[in-house]
Structure 1
């Protein structure tokens, strides 16, 4: 998958943003925005925006999870919330793999280096294991579900 376009109305087909508060937030924050535009939203509320990825149709998910990946990898150590960002990133991938593997498998090659980096640098993200659990263990589950042993 090379350069992807911003998901348009047809990519959100069969998506009802009014079906729940989660889908409404997801559509509100993401629809029609580029990944570079989403950076500001991630900085304001990474937990809400990151978790919103779980409620998207396939094309928007595949586009925006790559933007979230870039945000998590390039956010800098001075950013408040970096521990939440790293944890949410791994959780979203794990959750979507568990429930909708066809969303993740086609782009997994574009995600695996970032998954490894985040898992191996939990301390860099200031993500205390007592609070966030083990990123290494989460990575193991992700790779098992993706068929990457």
Structure 2
């Protein structure tokens, strides 16, 4: 399956009103294109990562690519939260593969270039191994989970 190319509709958000986390994610992301959504990650990457974690499948499969755009842009590098952005992204992918593989497996081919870029550039993201762990080890675990 390829990445979802159109902005998720209200119907794509399923029954988001019955879950507080999904309701907040809807409030933040609904109706935004990838460029608009990418801006949401600036200065609040941990919060946006958590919103992605709890999104219904279709919005998740769309908005994860706003995160990819953010991570591969030059504007993230040198930011005070670049290390958090990189680590949270890798941990989100690892968690989704482990706990909700149906939500993420169909888009792994499209995500893999960003995953590999982040994992191979830990120093670029100023992510101290003692704090964030070794990104290459997380990448190895992601690859292992993909092959399961």
Same-fold call, TM > 0.5?
yes
Whole-Å Cα distance in 2 between the matches of residues 7 and 35 of structure 1? 11
Q: Which residue of 1 aligns with 2:16?
A: 15
Over the aligned positions, Cα root-mean-square deviation in angstroms equals: 1.6
Whole-Å Cα distance in 1 between the matches of residues 99 and 7 of structure 2? 24
Q: Which residue of 2 aligns with 1:34?
A: 33
Secondary structure (helix, strand or coil) at the match of 2:89 reads helix
Secondary structure (helix, strand or coil) at the match of 2:137 reads helix
Deviation at 1:19, TM superposition (A): 2.3
- Consecutive aligned runs of 4 or more in structure 1 exceeding 6 Å deviation: none
Q: Which residue of 2 aligns with 1:84?
A: 84
Equivalenced residue count is 146
Q: Which residue of 1 aligns with 2:70?
A: 71
Q: Deviations over 1:114-147 (max 9, x none)?
A: 1111111100000001111111111111111111
Q: Unaligned stretches of 5+ in structure 2?
A: none
CA pair 81-140 structure 1, distance change in 2 beyond 3 A: same
Q: Which residue of 1 aligns with 2:105?
A: 105
Whole-Å Cα distance in 2 between the matches of residues 41 and 76 of structure 1? 12
Q: Which residue of 2 aligns with 1:4?
A: 5
Contact 2:4 2:62 in 1 (8 A): no
Q: Deviations over 1:74-123 (max 9, x none)?
A: 13423221111001110111111111101111111111111111111100
Q: How does 1:43-54 map to 2 (within 5 A)?
A: 43-54=42-53
Q: Which residue of 2 aligns with 1:141?
A: 141
Q: Unaligned stretches of 5+ in structure 1?
A: none
TM-score (norm: length of structure 2): 0.91
Secondary structure (helix, strand or coil) at the match of 2:16 reads coil
Whole-Å Cα distance in 2 between the matches of residues 44 and 133 of structure 1? 22
Secondary structure (helix, strand or coil) at the match of 1:4 reads coil
Q: How does 1:109-128 map to 2 (within 5 A)?
A: 109-128=109-128
Q: Deviations over 1:5-50 (max 9, x none)?
A: 001101001323x523x33332221111111111221103011002
Secondary structure (helix, strand or coil) at the match of 1:5 reads coil
Contact 2:70 2:76 in 1 (8 A): no
TM-score (norm: length of structure 1): 0.90
